[in-house]
Structure 1
Amino acid sequence: MSFISDYLSSFRSFTRNAKLYLLSAMIAGIANSMFFVLYNLYLKELGFGPEFPGMITSLTNLAIVFLAIPAGRFCDLTGPRRLMIIGFALAIPFSLGRGLAIGRSSLLFNNFMVGCASAITQVTIAPFLTQSSSPNERVHLFSISSAMSVATGFVGSYLGGTLPSLAAIILGWNPESAESYRLTFIVAATLLAFAIVPILLTKESRKRQDSCQSAQNGESAPATMTATMTWPEQAAPKARGANPPLSKEALNVIFWFGLSQLLIGLGAGLFVSFMNLYMSDVLELSTAAIGNWMAISSLTQAIGMLAAPSMAKVFGKVRTIIGCQCLSIPFLLILAFVPLPGPAVVAFLMRTMLMNMNNGLFSVLAMETVGENGHGLMSGVLSLVFSTGWVIGPYVGGQVIEAHGYTPVFVAGAILYLTATLLFWLRFRNLEKNTSSSPNQDAFISA
């Protein structure tokens, strides 16, 4: 009961901005999952082999690589809200475009632009949530945010798997035809348009506005206010050009977080975007079955993410992150060497849950560790390096799968995951030893 009461208590204390963001994340999660579950199958129906979906995924993430750091620094200077709105506004038309395109060039262009929108949006989430929360509720807010995105993926994956069948019944189309998939993408893009509305209803923090006004007047925020302000609020006066450089210790922390994310991105990029093709080609599951299992995977991820804060209270954030990542690796090897529907589906569900359940903890740890003026840069670096892995991984994975099947990419992914986990443990294993349950940023940086 304490697990539920903790969340209920935290949710009641969430700010209006935080609640509006969660509503937006819920709608966007449904829309994005509808694309995810069907897009490679759509490309396959258009006549492309596994190497082309890999190329598209790489190109999409290449856009994130180019824009992540500039977007992160811009976020530090102006605040995350405006940038988030821009990202959503870009995502809507180009998501529709990639769902309707049939030619190679138009598919590549629209997916590249979706990557640009993703770069802008992704780097704003952690700073926005940090600005919209206090330390006491932050872990729960980040965990709910991560869980919300994937839990709504349950609905999106289910809709993605069933709408083509519904089109077959009503319109007489083949449920696995390109036309049925396009109809689903139109519905998804429409939902994405609704997702921007809650973000438009958010407001800049009043304290941030007051601080910016004080900066314009050549004044500093009162000490009594500064003591209770979150990082973006304290940083607002610096947005006018007085942002101090990050310390060497903070840059070192960003490097190690980034290295871990780079290796995980490389590993994930090799196989994650091909899981629907693996289920179709190797396990020989139908489109509806693939959608159902993707939906169940989203549900199990959400359960894991909601359980993560309770685990962190017992084991600490670092041990929880390391333990979950280690436990996921054997299930990845089952996918490689036991390609039977029963064991492979269970392994898929367990691997996905364990590897992703600590996403919220990882984001909180990164924001708390880097120091007060590095949130945007940390967020940008993590987006950049993870996406760099997804630039290289899907392209290489598509080529390897085309030539040698799925086993090599699962094995390589397991090796990269293990390497990332070991490096993260070596650098941060003592991070929380000298900190209390309410982390002190200076103690983190000196770890």
Structure 2
Amino acid sequence: MALYQEWAAQIKSYNRNIRLTFIANILTQVGLGIFMVIYNFYIRELGYNELVNGKVIAMTSLATAIILIPAGILSDRAGRKKLMLYGAVSTGLILFTRSIVESQSLLILFAFGTGLASAFIQVSIIPWLAENSKPEQRVHLFSIHFAAMTAANVIGSLIGGIFTDLFSMVIPELESIRYTLIIGAILFLSALIPIMRMNEHRPTRVSPGDMKEKPKRISNISSYKIILLFAVAQLMIGFGAGLVIPYLNLYFADRFMASNSLIGLVISLGQAATAVAMIIGPMVVRRLGEVKAVVVLQLLSLPFLLLTAYTEHFWLAALGFLFRQALMNAGNPIQMSLMMSKVDDSMKGLANSVNQMVFNLGWAIMGPVSTGIVLKYGSYWGYATVFSITAGLYLVGSVYFFIVFKTMGQAKSVKVNNKNSVATRFL
């Protein structure tokens, strides 16, 4: 009951911009959730092999990695709302086009376009939430944001699997997948409505002769250092994730011959477990501090990742996937809160874009590597190998994160009381 009251008080304290952001985020993530589950099967149904799937995923991630830093700088200068609006329009239209085209060159071209367009939303949403909230709200806020994103992906995954199977009862498999993808694109485009209703107030720029300019430069140097240290940690995690996460649906289909609906259900349950873990995240932070909470959650996920890698039983693989998914991702909002609290306001867009860029770079590089290993060694040892490599990369990334950022986790938490809520501020 106390936990419910705490979260209810937090949600009530959020302003109109944050609530509209939640609505827009849910709509885009439902649309993307459909694509995440179904698009690999669309490529396969067109008659292409897993290497084409690998190229499509790699090109999407590569495009995002290329554009993220320029987009982050543009977000800092031109405004968050404007970039989110342009990103939603262009991404939605490209997703619609991807649902129709069939040639390999166009599949890869529009995958690249998706990576470019979606980056404008990615780089803007976290700084936007940070700028529309108070420091003591952010651990809870980012937890809710990522939980809502994950829950929306659950809905998208379920829609993707179920609608495809339902449509396939009356129309050919390829057409059933295509109609489901079009539904996903329409849902993504509907996020334009809440984005257009947001209100952005751009801060007044400091003149070059202002006496605060020198402290500002010192703050920027410190921010660059923090951004770089976070980027190294995220790069290792991104390399590991790029080996397995884009291909989980293919893993369940190839190793266990699971149906689209069953795969959608398992992936949805994994995302639901992640949403719950993210909500619990602030309690872990109160006990361990931000840095230790991230590291402990990530390390606890590794045994479940290895279980998924080596088991020959579907439900054991599903169980391992659920716990790995929840534990590994539960630390994401905590990391975002920590980074946003350490970086100057004028560089929040850049910080988020660099963080996203290195993660996508890992996906771009490791996607073709993963598909190549699976094609060479088969559905058992191929996936076992890539999952094991991922576990090693996660371990190295977690240890690095603890060593580099442990001094940030030493700060004591201070409870901030008012008549409605008890929040936690990390000093």
Relative to the length of structure 1, the TM-score reads 0.88
**Is 1:409 aligned to residue 386 of structure 2?**
yes
| Amino acid paired to 1:427 | V
Q: Which moved more, 1:408-417 or 1:424-433?
A: 424-433
Please list the CA deviations of residues 313-361 of structure 1 after superposition, one character each: whole Å capped at 9, or x if unmatched.
Answer: 1211111100110011111111221132021010011111111112111
**CA 1:393–1:160: 2 relative to 1, 3 Å:** same
Which position in structure 1 is the counterpart of 2:362? 389
Q: Which moved more, 1:262-271 or 1:2-11?
A: 2-11
Match of 2:258 among 285, 289, 305: 285
**CA 1:182–1:318: 2 relative to 1, 3 Å:** same
Contact map agreement 1:246 1:373 (CA 8 A) in 2: no
Which position in structure 2 is the counterpart of 1:55? 55
**Is 1:84 aligned to residue 84 of structure 2?**
yes
Contact map agreement 1:246 1:374 (CA 8 A) in 2: no
Match of 1:432 among 394, 397, 409: 409
Secondary structure of 1:182's counterpart equals: helix
Which position in structure 1 is the counterpart of 2:171? 173
For 1:439 and 1:321, locate their aligned partners in 2 and report how far apart those are by CA, in whole Å: 15
Counterparts in 2 of 1:64-103, with a 5 A limit? 64-103=64-103
For 2:216 and 2:47, locate their aligned partners in 1 and report how far apart those are by CA, in whole Å: 52
**CA 1:246–1:390: 2 relative to 1, 3 Å:** farther
**Is 1:188 aligned to residue 184 of structure 2?**
yes
Please list the CA deviations of residues 394-420 of structure 1 after superposition, one character each: whole Å capped at 9, or x if unmatched.
Answer: 111111111122111001100100000
For 2:98 and 2:281, locate their aligned partners in 1 and report how far apart those are by CA, in whole Å: 35
Please list the CA deviations of residues 287-338 of structure 1 after superposition, one character each: whole Å capped at 9, or x if unmatched.
Answer: 1111111111121111111111121112111111001100111111112211
Contact map agreement 1:265 1:385 (CA 8 A) in 2: yes
Please list the CA deviations of residues 21-68 of structure 1 after superposition, one character each: whole Å capped at 9, or x if unmatched.
Answer: 001111111111111111111111111211111111110011111111
Match of 1:421 among 378, 387, 398: 398
For 1:45 and 1:352, locate their aligned partners in 2 and report how far apart those are by CA, in whole Å: 27
| Amino acid paired to 1:385 | V
| Amino acid paired to 1:191 | L
**CA 1:380–1:245: 2 relative to 1, 3 Å:** farther
Secondary structure of 2:395's counterpart equals: helix
Please list the CA deviations of residues 154-196 of structure 1 after superposition, one character each: whole Å capped at 9, or x if unmatched.
Answer: 2111111111222134xx224xx11110000111111111112
Tell me the CA shift for residue 249 of structure 1: 3.3
Which position in structure 1 is the counterpart of 2:223? 250
For 2:324 and 2:162, locate their aligned partners in 1 and report how far apart those are by CA, in whole Å: 25
Q: Which moved more, 1:261-270 or 1:153-162?
A: 153-162
Tell me the CA shift for residue 118 of structure 1: 1.8
Contact map agreement 2:286 2:413 (CA 8 A) in 1: no
Secondary structure of 2:168's counterpart equals: helix
For 2:413 and 2:301, locate their aligned partners in 1 and report how far apart those are by CA, in whole Å: 29
**CA 1:294–1:400: 2 relative to 1, 3 Å:** same
Tell me the CA shift for residue 121 of structure 1: 1.1
Tell me the CA shift for residue 435 of structure 1: 4.9
Secondary structure of 2:408's counterpart equals: coil
Which position in structure 2 is the counterpart of 1:38? 38
**CA 1:46–1:308: 2 relative to 1, 3 Å:** same
Please list the CA deviations of residues 216-273 of structure 1 after superposition, one character each: whole Å capped at 9, or x if unmatched.
Answer: 9x998xxxxxxxxxxxxx9xxx9xxx97475443322211110111011100000111
Q: Which moved more, 1:364-373 or 1:60-69?
A: 364-373
For 1:283 and 1:246, locate their aligned partners in 2 and report how far apart those are by CA, in whole Å: 53
For 1:339 and 1:325, locate their aligned partners in 2 and report how far apart those are by CA, in whole Å: 24
Which position in structure 1 is the counterpart of 2:235? 262
For 1:378 and 1:273, locate their aligned partners in 2 and report how far apart those are by CA, in whole Å: 25
Match of 1:312 among 285, 289, 299: 285
Tell me the CA shift for residue 434 of structure 1: 3.5
Secondary structure of 1:431's counterpart equals: helix
Which position in structure 2 is the counterpart of 1:202? 198
Contact map agreement 1:126 1:379 (CA 8 A) in 2: yes
Counterparts in 2 of 1:292-303, with a 5 A limit? 292-303=265-276
Secondary structure of 2:338's counterpart equals: helix
Which position in structure 1 is the counterpart of 2:120? 120
For 1:132 and 1:371, locate their aligned partners in 2 and report how far apart those are by CA, in whole Å: 15
Please list the CA deviations of residues 366-398 of structure 1 after superposition, one character each: whole Å capped at 9, or x if unmatched.
Answer: 111223332122111101100110111111111
CA-based RMSD of the aligned residues comes to 2.1
Contact map agreement 1:69 1:380 (CA 8 A) in 2: yes
Tell me the CA shift for residue 3 of structure 1: 1.5
**CA 1:57–1:246: 2 relative to 1, 3 Å:** farther
For 1:110 and 1:332, locate their aligned partners in 2 and report how far apart those are by CA, in whole Å: 32
Contact map agreement 1:150 1:299 (CA 8 A) in 2: yes
Structure 2: where are the runs of 5+ without partners? 415-424
For 2:264 and 2:426, locate their aligned partners in 1 and report how far apart those are by CA, in whole Å: 41
Contact map agreement 2:135 2:341 (CA 8 A) in 1: no
For 1:99 and 1:323, locate their aligned partners in 2 and report how far apart those are by CA, in whole Å: 40
Which position in structure 2 is the counterpart of 1:358? 331
Secondary structure of 1:373's counterpart equals: helix
Q: Which moved more, 1:38-47 or 1:15-24?
A: 38-47
Please list the CA deviations of residues 114-141 of structure 1 after superposition, one character each: whole Å capped at 9, or x if unmatched.
Answer: 1001211111111100011111222111
For 1:245 and 1:301, locate their aligned partners in 2 and report how far apart those are by CA, in whole Å: 38
Which position in structure 1 is the counterpart of 2:296? 323
Contact map agreement 2:136 2:426 (CA 8 A) in 1: no
Structure 1: where are the runs of 5+ without partners? 221-233, 441-447
Which position in structure 2 is the counterpart of 1:374? 347
Contact map agreement 2:411 2:426 (CA 8 A) in 1: no
Contact map agreement 1:28 1:195 (CA 8 A) in 2: yes
Q: Which moved more, 1:21-30 or 1:425-434?
A: 425-434
